[in-house]
Amino acid sequence: MKTVLITGGSGMIGRHLSDRLIEKGYDVIWLSREKHIKAEIPRYKWNLLAGEIDEEALEEADVIVHLAGVGIAEGRWTEARKRMIVGSRVRSAHLILDKLKAMDTKVDAFISASAIGYYGAETTDRVFIEDDPHDATDFLGATCYNWEEQAKQFTSDLGIRSVSIRTGVVLSKESELIKKAILPIKWWLGAPLGKGSQYMNWIHIDDLCDIYIKAIEDETMQGAYNAVAPEYTTNAEFMKTMAKLLGKPMFLPRVPEFVFRLFLGEAAQIILEGSRISSQKISNTGFEFKYKTIHDALKAILLKRKEKKSQR
């Protein structure tokens, strides 16, 4: 079986993907801040600021999955924070590319995370597809564009197949969104956020990991793919479904937009804006979603949270 090298392996998606790959018989290794070869998942050191990567990791890798990146939704986007968001994604990919060039080492594929922020922050009736241009005036739009352009260089410079996975909101029992949504609803304080009509493009973590695995195994996949569920869901619909599954009413008026802008500034757009994103391209590859509706996805997640609590 092939060896998959993952950056950002200790994150929520990285851990879940690692487990799935190991179950399928892959060897998995991580790039990490500290080297720990004897860990359950072997870790090789890299240092972005120093421009260093343990060459042994690149020599072992057949496929690289690039998930590393500072959290986008964690607080205000100060200028320093913006530099970290961009650098942790774009510069880190560039470092890997440079090292592969210097070592004259070639991997089978470079699979990179991206985000639906590529299309910009707006709420419209438009349904965005992969061929639509990025929003160059928007911070996330420009960041995702540069992120993907760096991934394309693995193909243009080294002839390595590259894929960018434009990911929506990832739903998992560990996700902060689920944790933050459950608490107010349980206390009868659930409400739509902002206008509530903005679309929330989501994907269950199992489906997301299956898309990454397909990108690893399907050699016909190249370029960008939207990783979002096929159902179009507004923020209000998400909150109502969560409340219904928790057996709680939701009668409060929507939370005003200014509240989020006050605390999050520019970053509030992640919550307050959203248009529909098509998943047709990934479906055309033969990929089948396990969780096609928000009801099924949330029901499965809440059940897993309940099972986890009962095991404590």
Say if 244 falls within a structural domain: no
- Among candidate residues 68, 67, 63, the one with its CA nearest the CA of residue 28: 63
Phi, psi of 114, deg, nearest 5: -150, -165
Cα distance between residue 9 and residue 189, in whole Å: 35
In a domain, 158, yes or no: yes
Q: Which domain holds residue 300?
A: 3-235+261-310
What's the token pair of residue 17? 């993907």
Q: What is the pLDDT of residue 199?
A: 94
Q: Specify the pLDDT at position 190.
A: 82
Give this prediction's pTM. Answer: 0.94
Rounded average pLDDT over 89-110: 93
- Alpha-helical runs (H) found in the chain: 12-23, 55-60, 79-86, 92-103, 139-158, 176-186, 205-217, 235-245, 257-264, 269-272, 280-283, 294-310
Q: Which CATH number fits the domain that encloses residue 32? A: 3.40.50.720
pLDDT at 76 over 90: no
Structure confidence at residue 310 (pLDDT): 60
Asked if residue 63 belongs to a domain, the reply is: yes
CA distance 190 to 196: 12
- % residues pLDDT > 90 (the chain): 71
Asked whether residue 249 is assigned to any structural domain, the reply reads: no
Q: pLDDT tens for residues 161-210?
A: 999 999 999 999 988 888 888 888 887 778 888 888 999 999 999 999 99
Does 144 score more than 70 pLDDT?
A: yes
Mean per-residue pLDDT of the chain: 92
Task: Say if residue 75's pLDDT is above 80.
Answer: no
- In a domain, residue 240? The reply is no
125 and 198 Cβ atoms separated by less than 8 Å:
no
- If one compares 20 and 104, the residue with the highest pLDDT of the two is 20
Question: 12-23 and 205-217 are packed helices; what angle lies between their axes, rounded to 10 degrees?
Answer: 60
Distance CA 158, CA 304 (A): 43
| Mean pLDDT on 126-137 | 95
- Predicted confidence band of residue 259 (pLDDT cuts 50, 70, 90): confident
Considering its fold, how many domains does the chain have in total? 1
Residue 263 — very low, low, confident or very high, per pLDDT cuts 50/70/90?
A: low
pLDDT reading at 285 higher than 70? yes
Distance CA 183, CA 288 (A): 32
Q: Is the pLDDT of residue 141 over 90?
A: yes
Q: How far is CA 296 from CA 166, 250, 290, in A?
A: 22, 20, 9
Residue 252 resides in a domain:
no
Structural domain includes residue 97: yes
